[in-house]
Amino acid sequence: MLVIVKENYGEVSKEAAAEIASLVREKPDCVLGFATGGTPLGAYKELIRLHREEGLDFSKVTTFNLDEYVGLPPSHPKSYHYYMLENLFNHINVDPRNMFIPMGMAENVHGFCAWYEEKIEKVGGIDLQILGIGANGHIAFNEPGSSLGSRTRIKTLSEKTIRDNRRFFTKEEEVPRYAITMGVGTIMEARQLLLVASGATKADAIRATVEGPITAWYPATIVQMHRFATIVIDKDAASGLRGSYAGF
């Protein structure tokens, strides 16, 4: 596990985008796993810039997203379908036929989850999976207590996650209580992991993830077991670390 500490969020975003861009240039038909939330937005803006100004080509790339709220159609402004289109896919030349995002309106959720796993396997697996981290240590929507061998499935969101997501909705009752998410086991099968975090509010989560014991009650800690995991954080997010890391 490589931990890289940058000065601020802007540098974190550029470093993360550079990691992604390097893979796209090296392997134009790579499979990328994308995350949502506030943290990846800077990296996505940088990828858009690299596409427009430096010709970074996404035409052969296949993408899979980590998760989606159950009950929100793709057109809903708070759905992750909408997020990805607005913040990345509408601004680069990725082929819509190669974009895969969990379907929150699936009639047979369990059947869809099995199909999603099969689709990832059919394309040869994910080359690079981007991750954020929740304050309670969740990755994707794998809440505390999730099996470290879990696969894509429906999950009940914790009260902590619901409170954290409240800022994205007008009213608390509008915040979804369920989500479809890749499992921890699915995530760990990606060839590379890239976890990004910024800000002092993530310091406890990063400390536990990097230096704490591996436990299902803090799912992000499993990243320690991945052969090619990179964690890119700013100094505020790194403020709880006791060890010495690149740039810190």
Asked if residue 247 is part of any domain, the answer here is no
> Mean pLDDT across the stretch 203-231?
97
**Whether 67 is catalytic:** yes
For 102, the token pair is 């969990």
CATH number at residue 198: 3.40.50.1360
Asked if residue 31 is part of any domain, the answer here is yes
Asked if residue 244 is part of any domain, the answer here is no
User: How many domains in the chain?
Assistant: 1
**Whether 8 is catalytic:** no
The three-state DSSP-derived secondary structure of 34-95 is ECCCCCCHHHHHHHHHHHHHHCCCCCCCEEEECEEECCCCCCCCCCHHHHHHHHCHHHCCCC
**Whether 136 is catalytic:** yes
Domain that holds residue 100: 2-234
Asked if residue 143 is part of any domain, the answer here is yes
Asked if residue 242 is part of any domain, the answer here is no
Q: Which of 65, 136, 142, 165 is catalytic?
A: 136
Characterise 55 by phi-psi region: left (phi > 0), alpha (psi -120 to 50), beta (else): left
For 130, the token pair is 């981007």
**Residue 95 confidence (pLDDT) above 80:** yes
**Whether 138 is catalytic:** yes
The answer to whether the pTM exceeds 0.85 is: yes
Asked if residue 245 is part of any domain, the answer here is no
pLDDT at 238: 97
Asked if residue 243 is part of any domain, the answer here is no
List pLDDT tens digits, range 130-170: 999 999 999 999 999 999 999 999 999 888 888 888 888 88
List pLDDT tens digits, range 19-43: 999 999 999 999 999 999 999 999 9
Asked if residue 34 is part of any domain, the answer here is yes
